[in-house]
Structure 1
Amino acid sequence: MTEYRKFNINSTLGFILYILAVLTAFGRSGISIIIYLAAMLFIGLAFNNSKRIAQITKDDLPDYYIVLLPSFFFYFIMFFITRKQVKERIDLMT
């Protein structure tokens, strides 16, 4: 399997799982966390494939993944914190 094909598969699976994690976050948080971690795994694999492609083609790609991966993690944490705060405010109003 070529690196480009691996990149396509890993990035597609990572994107789909990330969307599923966001959609399932409103229900059972345990399942959404597992899906989110799987998405981060596939996104990390896609970045690794991208780096290998850059090495093969002798191209210097910027290392955006150093910033991108932590931003996904912090967004997910902020999503749950914000959701909890909004729920508490609504409960106080009722």
Structure 2
Amino acid sequence: MDNNQNQDQNINIQLNEMVAAGAYCNLALVNHSPSEFVLDFIQLMPGVQQAQVRSRVILAPLHAKRVLAALQQNIQNYEAQFGEIKEVEPFVVGAGNAQA
């Protein structure tokens, strides 16, 4: 592949201030259909019965698999640098959804 083809594959990614600020989430719900994965990122406050979805991301199955691979690689890198991430609560899998 020559340099011209490499340059054609570059993507200019823009990040506005509101998105760059991010949203704190301490719960994620994952659901899927045959055509998509839906990730709801939720902020759950202690002692409050109602949680708020802070962001919803809808992915095609291929992109969901790529996100999983990227997370696995980044967790391996993190643990190599900072030590094992210890789970304090059991991982819960429900009917058709998973919490993280």
Fold equivalence (TM over 0.5): no
Instruction: Identify which of structures 1 and 2 has the higher relative contact order when contacts are C-alpha pairs closer than 8 Å and 6+ apart.
Output: 1
Greater per-residue helix proportion: 1
